[in-house]
A and B are shown apart, each in its own frame.
Chain A
Amino acid sequence: MSWPVVKLTVRALLLQKRTLALALLAYAPTLMAFVFAVGARADANHHRFYSHLVQDLMVPVVTALVSLVVGVSAIGDEREDGTILYLAATPLSRLSIVVSKITAAWIVAFALLGPSLVLSCLLALGGDVTLGLIVWPLLGVALAALAYAAGSAWLSLRVRRPIVVGILYIILWEGSIATYAASADRLSIAAYGRALVAEKLPQAAAPVVSPARATLILIVATAFLAWLGGRALRRTELP
């Protein structure tokens, strides 16, 4: 991995107007938690609300979409405007370029998602917050964002409309098929993210696997997708 490339890409991503739009999306759960905190009835189940917020909205929708767009932009934009040539014309291996891009995309995605999650937790749970209720969801979001970013980077090198294909995966596969077919859940990044998020949540849906296994699978999936991305960049015709 090359830190100059990571810093360069983070800077490029933060200067994009779409990052501002993604920030609005990333803070949608915070807004919902705020509305809940202000308007909830006295007997409302705060843990249940928080559990649904992170499992049904934060991981499978917000994390997925933010990471998808940022991951595609990290390589796709440079490929489109030709600036990737200046990175390709260096001794960095193509895999190293892709890994640097994924890291940059993850840093930006997590910088948007992490604070939003912590704020949502504080607002939703108020005085009932424990360290486990923040750390496990943060870990779930972080690892899911990493895997989504790696998948998006690979997609941006393989297909003409990576955002469309990514959204189809998120909506059709993860949102529909994997929700109802248990075996399909094994090919869902969101399912493993939820498994981590749910670790300390009392009203969590049953996780597909243990947290250790979910962590391992998300890391292996990220590494595999990064390898596919490196291979795709090596084979891609650059402008």
Chain B
Amino acid sequence: MSTPAAIEFDKVSRWYGDTVALADVTFTVGPGVTGLLGHNGAGKSTALRLCGGFSTPSSGTVRILGLDPKASPDVYKRLGIVPDHSPPWPFLTAREVVSICARLRKVPDPAAAAERALTEVDLMDVADRNVGGFSHGLRQRVKLAQALAHDPEVLLLDEPLNGLDPQHRRHVVELLRRMGESGRTVIVSSHVLHEVERMAPRVLVLVNGRLVAEGETAEIRQLIADRPRQVRVTAEGDPRPLARELVGSGAVSAVHLEDGHVTIDTEDVEAFSRLLPAAARDTSTTLKRVEPIGDDLESVYTYLHDRARGTAR
């Protein structure tokens, strides 16, 4: 018999009234770090809540280590969770929070486990201070420590780098990467690709509740880099000679002239970025401004969404 995947989503949908948070999502996640990417409201937190047994699918099944967490609470001994919101009890010290979570997950020596987890997230110097007085970043690390204290096989982390300073971001990224390499299953949600690609060799991309891409991070990065783009160029004087020069080149698929701007559609941004200065020089055009259009994250995710539905340009 084959070992079940650590996390299995099978045709999972979750809706709240008329709002669809997840639509027919199917994936499996095995050992290593997997990034769960998507814009705000894409369904990342809903997916993680379903994994954690904090929500029930409207249809489909969710299995963690082959079990339904709601029906088999023992699975939480093997599962660590960092929720996005929900700071730990403010009247407890960091040590007490981690220790009580370890005790409730049946760790034989909760005090030692708390000490180890707090050391791992570099919190020992404030371990005996109340969490209520902590900054957002310190609270994030307490949340991470409580999730690590029982040495889980599976870790679900909802935006774990939020609020961390650059030094601790690096530290946590390194820690999670090590955990993935040691054979644990780690799923990390984020809306920032470059943040995820530093630790996750694989990503799942959710857009508007749908799984629109999954695979190696480098492939997704390439897919995003290769997508058609629009660039708006503002030139001093008449932009038409520049437009004529550009339209004949292979890197440009369409040129639109409007209000003194030239808007260029390109399939190959790199080639276009080499072509534009040369075209400006050849036509004696002074470039005032060059700006990409629709290069924000929302547009990137929308492109992936449209591509998955076969409607992308």
Contact A83 B91 (CB under 8 A): no
Question: Provided the pairs A15-B91, A90-B73, A238-B49 are in contact, do residues A83 and B86 lie with their beta carbons within 8 angstroms?
Answer: yes
Cross-chain contact B104 with A87 (CB below 8 angstroms): yes
Establish whether residues A4 and B100, one from each chain, have CB atoms under 8 Å apart when the complex forms. yes
In the assembled complex, the CB of B94 is this many whole angstroms from the nearest CB of chain A, namely 13
CA distance A88 to B106 in the complex (A): 14
Whether B91 lies near A82 (C-beta < 8 A) is no
Which of A5-13, A30-38, A138-146, A168-176 lies at the interface? A5-13
* Interface residue range, chain B: 20 to 34
Please measure, in the bound complex, the distance between the C-alpha atom of A238 and the C-alpha atom of B70, giving whole angstroms: 12
How many A residues touch the partner, as a band?
A: 20 to 34
Contact B104 A5 (CB under 8 A): yes
Docked complex: B33-77 residues within 8 A CB-CB of A: 49, 52-56, 70, 73-77
Contact check, B55 vs A91: say whether CB atoms are below 8 A apart. no
Contacting residues, chain A, for B75 (C-beta < 8 A): 91
Closest to B150 in A: A90
Given known A4-B100, A8-B100, A85-B54, contact A91–B77 (CB-CB < 8 A): yes
- Note all chain B residues with C-beta closer than 8 A to A94: 73
Contact residue among A12, A93, A234, A239 (Cβ-Cβ distance under 8 Å from B89): A12
Report the separation of the CA atoms of residues A87 and B103 in the bound assembly, to the nearest whole angstrom: 11
Interface check B269, CB cutoff 8 A: no
Q: Is A86 an interface residue (CB 8 A)?
A: yes
Residues of A within 8 A of B55 (CB): 237-238
| A48 interfacial contact with B, CB 8 Å | no
- A87 CA to B73 CA, complexed, in Å: 11
Q: Does A43 contact B (CB under 8 A)?
A: no
Distance (whole angstroms) from the CB of A20 to the closest CB of chain B: 15
Judge whether B56 and A2 touch: CB under 8 Å.
no
A87 to B53, CA, bound (A): 12
Task: From B54, B73, B86, B106, give the contact of A237 (CB < 8 A).
Answer: B54
Bitwise interface map of A from 78 to 108 toward B, beta carbon under 8 Å scored 1, else 0? 0001110111111111100000000000000
The answer to whether B105 has its CB under 8 Å from any CB of chain A is yes
Of residues 157 to 208 in A, which have CB atoms within 8 Å of B's CB atoms? none
The chain B residue with its CB closest to the CB of A14 is: B91
Q: Is the CB of B76 within 8 A of A89?
A: yes
A89 CA / B54 CA spacing, docked (Å): 8
Bound: A147/B302 CA distance, A:
54
Question: Given known contacts A81-B86, A237-B55, is B76 in contact with A90 (CB within 8 Å)?
Answer: yes
What are the residues of chain A within 8 A of B73 when measuring CB–CB?
90-94
CA distance A92 to B97 in the complex (A): 17
- Would B86 and A82 count as touching, CB distance under 8 A? yes
Chain B: CB-nearest residue to A16: B91
- How many angstroms from the CA of A4 to the CA of B104 in the assembled complex? 8
CA distance A88 to B146 in the complex (A): 13
The 3 closest A-B pairs by CB, nearest first: A82-B86, A238-B54, A90-B104
Supplied contacts A85-B52, A86-B88, A90-B76, 7 more A-B pairs, CB within 8 Å: A8-B92, A82-B87, A83-B87, A91-B73, A91-B75, A91-B76, A239-B86
